[in-house]
Structure 1
């Protein structure tokens, strides 16, 4: 128990210094140069580009209000000829609580470095999602939930997200709550199947479900009735 407490304190200290200082950032990629020069001014515009994001500074530059959450930290033992080797596996999530969410995973020898690497991967995996009010019990038209029932899958884990009325809250386990909060969703019902104790698959299944909200095409009438928005509520991203 004492060892667990020490590890948790170390992890909290490592979380205090995960943001990259971009004041002296000099872009190395064409996409980064377009962002720094002002040719690309929003994360929504960036994510529409077919070119993958290679610099994590791009995300920090366009979404300075990102929050980070550690989803899971586990020790992985590996037996070699020289004995047992201990490594950390870290799953993290990032989001601005306003329509953008990312999940990342990394392995490494030191907890702090592995946490930072996982957060950087989560940022590079940032996705824009749709929100709305799809619950027949509500119909308020505010984007507090999701516009329709949606599914996500990763490994053996399958997740179903269903719209919930305003005030219902996030009816889910802690991992899903962290991710949904970071995405800016306040009310939803979560149903899971498979080996949900596998944190990495569970986290990526929730992310897959949220990203799948963008794959469903709606008529203009439904968009208005369900209060559907893609990305942030405010135009000022």
Structure 2
């Protein structure tokens, strides 16, 4: 399994300037009567660097076609990443399969302290300061990326939590 990071600029249908980053390229084979047939699966993260981030998987016989499919899939799955300043609003654990990712807010200037699959999601989502740790029983980059997206989807800002509880925020 080859890992690669690559940035490419393009424009989404929403009018955002998006950056794509390849998280992993995996060559898979299928044994048939005539021999082996090789295909590629590519995991791509797309984001605007401010608050929009998406994750997509593309599969094809050629890497370039698989990347295009992954980018299109990621653009369709863009979500708004909730943040407080340049960090996360609260600690959270994301789960997907055997993968678990613990993410905690960090002080300004800390940077993105995260593994290879979590880092592009945080950077392209506009998070500048975060501490992340993969705590699950897997090192599969695909499952780790999906666990990170699970955590990002479940983030809530303090204003949302107050509104859901039916309370008003008191300023100190």
Is TM (by shorter chain) over 0.5? Answer: yes
Matches within 5 A, 1:45-56: none
When the two structures are aligned, how many residues end up with a matched partner?
Answer: 164
Deviations 1:28-65 (CA, angstroms, capped at 9, x unpaired):
xxxxxxxxxxxxxxxxxxxxxxxxxxxxxxxx132431
How far apart are the structure 2 equivalents of 1:148 and 1:214?
8
* Gap regions ≥5 residues in structure 2: 163-167
After TM superposition, the score normalised by the length of structure 1 is 0.63
8 Å contact kept, 2:46–2:55: yes
Partner of residue 36 from structure 2, selected from 84, 88, 97: 84
- Is residue 2:117 matched to residue 1:175? yes
Matched residue, 2:96: 154
Matched residue, 1:103: 55
* Gap regions ≥5 residues in structure 1: 21-59, 133-142, 226-237
User: How far does residue 157 in structure 1 lie from its aligned partner after superposition?
Assistant: 0.3
User: How far does residue 196 in structure 1 lie from its aligned partner after superposition?
Assistant: 4.1
Cα RMSD, aligned residues only: 2.5
Matched residue, 1:47: none
8 Å contact kept, 1:104–1:125: yes
How far apart are the structure 2 equivalents of 1:213 and 1:153?
13
How far apart are the structure 2 equivalents of 1:106 and 1:178?
17
How far apart are the structure 2 equivalents of 1:95 and 1:73?
19
Decide which structure has the larger Cα Rg and report it. Answer: 1
8 Å contact kept, 1:68–1:93: yes
How far apart are the structure 2 equivalents of 1:81 and 1:193?
42
8 Å contact kept, 2:22–2:45: yes
8 Å contact kept, 1:129–1:214: no
